[in-house]
Structure 1
Amino acid sequence: MSENASEFKKSLGLLDATMLVAGSMIGSGIFIVSSDIARNTGSVGWLMVVWLIAGFMTLTAALSYGELSAMFPRAGGQYVYLKEAYNPLVSFTFGWTFFAVIHTATIAAVGVAFSKFTAYLFPILDEDVIFWSIGSYEVSYAQLLAIAVIFLLTFINTKGVQNGKSVQTVITILKLLSLILLVGFGFWAFDSAVWQQNWASAETWHLQSISKDWSRSDYTFISGLGALSAALVGALFSSDSWHTSSAVAGEIKNPKRNIGLSLALGTIIVTVVYLLTNLMYTGVLSLDQMASAPKDRVAMVAAQEIFGPVGITILAVMIMLSTFGCNNGLILAGARIYYSMAQDGLFFKKTGKLNKNAVPAYALWLQGIVAALWCLTGRYGDLLDMITCVVVIFYMLCIIGVFILRKKRPDLPRPYKAFGYPFLPAIYIVMGLLFIGLLVVYKPQFTLPGIGITLAGIPLYYLIKKNNKIA
């Protein structure tokens, strides 16, 4: 075999691609963010509405991407779609933001979540146990474990997509079964008194905020919309990374069919599981229990109600499995976008090369190093709030791209067309604009820096274009 491969291997079938989508979506969010949503909405009715909105937006976006993926079944996913619909400046701005913050910070956050829940089994790995410090800067054992897991998964994926897909498919099936069993046992432990308190009271559909001292206050109409947008941040982040199969298009068998189908199947599966999980929460926990969960770990509180003291151990193992598989999918898919950028002369040349196992190993290791640096900053929590706004902006641009390409390139073959076009994509765009606008008003400390990082890609693009290379 030659030292380097010249092209990707078609190794991923429909099941593999679907498990990549579902596995990349399910991390730690579903076990945590409902606590914050409960505080922002102050009612179980609106809690479920937030998850329904997130599910609708995610599924609508995935169905729209299906058309794009069938038209351009190449490695790179969103980067390719933005370039085809707009121009290289827009696609580079996405790629730059994806590399600098969106993807690498997400990998870091998921890695640290793995460590935090591993600490339930091995307390020395708790984020409060410090390994090393200089002045006010501290590095915990949790951060070191997160870095070790990121490097382990990066190494596994450099050995070929076959290894990465095996890890992803097996772990995703296991964690889907685990979540389904958790939901099943939750409904088996259903508390009718709690259900009645949540769903038969005057507070069920009363949108209000729950403060840190557990007092409640009503919203105005506008501030209520702002609260719903703030609540959506967690739900949308928990549903993010649904587009991973489009990034590895070069390695999917029959990509014109299987990419779009995997996006639809993966998002449907996860959306249904998420809705059932939250409905289960309302059958075993009161709203106050959800809102006051220690460190927002609402699933831990639910597991204790369902299984007793052993519930913490059961759920810790579930979340370890979930976050491990989630990061494998993120690591596998992300490097393909940097590969596509390098092919256009807009990223480090070596990231555009495949190793003997037909994977972009240099891009994988570069991604791993940047993610490890984010682990060491300890700022991943703030970053996730910051990037959610930017992520939705690029999703909107891709969906608008469906309209643009229908007009600009009507003769291009479309084996699959966006479901519900033009109505569902248009609804997503309107909802996205409303979401972004409200976040800019109510969370400017997070949204504006994220937009600033994105805009920084514009001068960087012209600098790279002028020099025609980075490396």
Structure 2
Amino acid sequence: MQSIAVQQKSFKPAFSLLDATMIVAGSMIGSGIFLVSADMTRNVGSAGWLILLWIFTGVLTLIAALSYGELSAMYPKAGGQYVYLKEAYNPLIAFLFGWSFFAVIQTGTIAAVGVAFSKFAAYIFPALSENNVIADVGFMKISAAQITSIVLIVFLTWVNTRGVKEGKFIQTLFTLTKLAALFGLIIFGFMAAGKGTWSANWSTGFAFGKLDGNVIVPYTGAAALGAFAGAMVGSLFSSDSWNNVTFIAGEIENPKRNIGLSLFFGTLIVTLIYTATNLMYLAVMSMQGIANAENDRVGVEAAKLIFGSTGTTIIAIMLMVSTFGCNNGLILSGARVYYTMAKDGLFFKQAGTLNKNAVPSMGLWIQCLWASVLCLSGRYGDLLNYIIFTVLIFYILTIAGIFILRRKRPDIPRPYKAFGYPVLPILYIVAASVICISLLKYYPTYTFPGLGIVLLGIPIYYFVWKNKHVIEEVPADEEVVVK
């Protein structure tokens, strides 16, 4: 005869402040810093505005991170932003975030970072090139780069199913390595800088316009606002994923203190590095060289000027380290959102259980499967164009949730309160809203599909909510074990 026993199985607080900070910084730094400055330069025209955009992005990110500190201290639970939205609004708003997160935000980023790893690995191992088509099944071609990206995602998923210790080790090691490598690149870049290049780049000061050859063509009227918002897409995307640390709140030591601190330290470090990297670009490359870098690979072109013929290999290795560590952080943290959604009956039930290593292994594998499909589809690039608009909407809602919860739940202890409240949170909401409205007006081909992905979650929510199977009454973080 079988007996039923309830076995306690919960997340283990294994991440220190350093580990949590490495999650923040490592998830933010991928391949974007080596690529997006080309498009930004084409859209703003001058060195002054290029640097201002990166500083402005960094300030916005820091404000958001400091604001999230209050929410993370109030709700130090797995799921992070999903939990904050549910508590401030309702399950529907939280589900729309979770749905968008699974459909495109997290999995699309994982796929894109995986393919970026493969593309730069092809510099050293040409057989891994996206031009090496290994299968043609009629409706699509499968390249070695796509297969390599899937292998990477599967490997990192497997590592993270082994337990927090393994994923934490990879994250901290690779993030520290890429931070050191970036500092080295910046230092060697300034050492190799030519005074003439720097002076020439700053000769136009803070002129704002579209760079056409050597001429900056000023924008007219409201088009300037659209160009500003469009140029920020690159810097915002490169600075995104800082909130991933909130998803693993249940596994951080002293979360009420360390989540807020890790958000601050991680975003500050990355902001300083990103700004310094772009100053280095301006010291070694002309504005035209940055704007017209082959395939927008500014980092590769800068490395060639700094290190000569070995520059391509050096930057390729740096990018492989960077994207490897970035994807580990994304994979590790993403599954915790699905875990919490599953506990609410709004995701696959199996994703709401922990394996013997106290990690949501089924959520990790479901995430792996969909990210791999996006790798094969070749459409992840289009999906990523929709991400920033969608992400900003949920950031705005989440930070507005601070005001709602102060009125709605004044009784909840707040060990940490949003820095600069209410001025800085309001500033973020206004600035992000202006960017969203500008993108909606001037880049509808990106924003409306992104909005469509979010709204598609509404019928899915009601279908799941009204037709879901009855879930056994098992307390959170517990499993039924049949003996």
TM-score by length of 1: 0.97
In structure 2, the partner of 1:38 is: 41
In structure 1, the partner of 2:373 is: 373
Change (3 A) 1:411 1:5: closer
Please state whether the residue corresponding to 2:124 is helix, strand or coil. Answer: coil
In structure 2, the partner of 1:444 is: 444
Paired residue type of 2:211: I
1:196, 1:50 → 2: CA distance?
20
CA displacement 1:90-125 (0-9 Å, x = unmatched): 000100110011110000000000000001001111
Change (3 A) 1:470 1:35: farther
In structure 2, the partner of 1:291 is: 291
Paired residue type of 1:12: F
Paired residue type of 1:193: G
Please state whether the residue corresponding to 1:456 is helix, strand or coil. Answer: helix
Please state whether the residue corresponding to 2:142 is helix, strand or coil. Answer: strand
In structure 1, the partner of 2:389 is: 389
CA displacement 1:162-208 (0-9 Å, x = unmatched): 10000000100000000001001011112100000011x1x231111
Change (3 A) 1:459 1:156: same
Equivalent runs, 1:172-211 vs 2, <5 Å? 172-199=175-202, 201=203, 203-210=204-211
Paired residue type of 1:165: K
Paired residue type of 1:179: L
In structure 2, the partner of 1:166 is: 169
Please state whether the residue corresponding to 1:120 is helix, strand or coil. Answer: helix
Aligned partners of 1:4 and 1:358 also within 8 Å: no
Aligned partners of 2:37 and 2:290 also within 8 Å: yes
Q: CA deviation at 1:4?
A: 7.6
> Gaps (5+ residues) in structure 2?
472-483
Please state whether the residue corresponding to 1:273 is helix, strand or coil. Answer: helix
Residue 145 of structure 2 is aligned to residue 142 of structure 1: yes
Q: CA deviation at 1:214?
A: 7.2
Residue 458 of structure 2 is aligned to residue 458 of structure 1: yes
Q: CA deviation at 1:57?
A: 1.1
CA displacement 1:387-412 (0-9 Å, x = unmatched): 11000000010000011111111121
2:298, 2:187 → 1: CA distance?
17
In structure 2, the partner of 1:303 is: 303
In structure 1, the partner of 2:126 is: 123
Aligned partners of 1:303 and 1:315 also within 8 Å: yes
2:328, 2:100 → 1: CA distance?
20
1:239, 1:254 → 2: CA distance?
26
2:470, 2:160 → 1: CA distance?
25
Equivalent runs, 1:241-256 vs 2, <5 Å? 241-256=241-256
Paired residue type of 1:217: V
Change (3 A) 1:214 1:454: farther
2:304, 2:93 → 1: CA distance?
48
1:470, 1:148 → 2: CA distance?
36
Equivalent runs, 1:272-421 vs 2, <5 Å? 272-421=272-421
Q: CA deviation at 1:215?
A: 6.4
Q: CA deviation at 1:277?
A: 0.5
In structure 2, the partner of 1:63 is: 66
Q: Which of 6, 9, 34 in structure 2 is aligned with 1:6?
A: 9
CA displacement 1:241-300 (0-9 Å, x = unmatched): 001111001111111001111111100011111010001111111100000000000011
Paired residue type of 1:59: L
Paired residue type of 1:242: W
Equivalent runs, 1:46-125 vs 2, <5 Å? 46-125=49-128
Aligned partners of 2:25 and 2:175 also within 8 Å: yes
Paired residue type of 1:150: I
Aligned partners of 1:67 and 1:414 also within 8 Å: yes
Please state whether the residue corresponding to 1:237 is helix, strand or coil. Answer: helix
Paired residue type of 2:467: N
Aligned partners of 1:5 and 1:356 also within 8 Å: no
Aligned partners of 1:4 and 1:356 also within 8 Å: no
1:257, 1:141 → 2: CA distance?
44
1:64, 1:257 → 2: CA distance?
14
Aligned partners of 2:346 and 2:464 also within 8 Å: yes
CA displacement 1:422-451 (0-9 Å, x = unmatched): 111101101111101111111111110110
Aligned partners of 2:207 and 2:216 also within 8 Å: no
Paired residue type of 1:36: D
Greater Cα shift, 379-388 or 160-169: 379-388
Please state whether the residue corresponding to 2:417 is helix, strand or coil. Answer: coil
CA RMSD of aligned residues (A): 1.5
Change (3 A) 1:136 1:362: closer
Q: CA deviation at 1:470?
A: 9.3
Change (3 A) 1:398 1:466: same
Residue 154 of structure 2 is aligned to residue 132 of structure 1: no
Q: CA deviation at 1:34?
A: 0.4
Change (3 A) 1:158 1:81: same
Paired residue type of 1:350: Q
Please state whether the residue corresponding to 1:209 is helix, strand or coil. Answer: strand
Aligned partners of 1:5 and 1:355 also within 8 Å: no
Paired residue type of 2:165: Q
Please state whether the residue corresponding to 1:8 is helix, strand or coil. Answer: coil
2:141, 2:469 → 1: CA distance?
37
Aligned residues: 467
Residue 152 of structure 2 is aligned to residue 153 of structure 1: no
Q: CA deviation at 1:218?
A: 2.0
Please state whether the residue corresponding to 1:358 is helix, strand or coil. Answer: coil
Aligned partners of 1:75 and 1:247 also within 8 Å: yes
1:241, 1:418 → 2: CA distance?
19
Change (3 A) 1:136 1:209: farther
Paired residue type of 1:282: L
Q: CA deviation at 1:126?
A: 1.3
2:151, 2:199 → 1: CA distance?
46
Aligned partners of 2:183 and 2:273 also within 8 Å: yes
1:446, 1:435 → 2: CA distance?
13
In structure 2, the partner of 1:422 is: 422
CA displacement 1:282-323 (0-9 Å, x = unmatched): 111110000000000001111111111101100000000000
CA displacement 1:343-390 (0-9 Å, x = unmatched): 111111100000000000000000000000010111222211111100
Change (3 A) 1:417 1:71: same
Q: CA deviation at 1:469?
A: 3.7
Change (3 A) 1:88 1:436: same
Please state whether the residue corresponding to 2:222 is helix, strand or coil. Answer: helix
2:196, 2:371 → 1: CA distance?
45
Residue 27 of structure 2 is aligned to residue 24 of structure 1: yes
Please state whether the residue corresponding to 1:119 is helix, strand or coil. Answer: helix
Q: CA deviation at 1:220?
A: 1.1
2:293, 2:223 → 1: CA distance?
25
> Gaps (5+ residues) in structure 1?
none
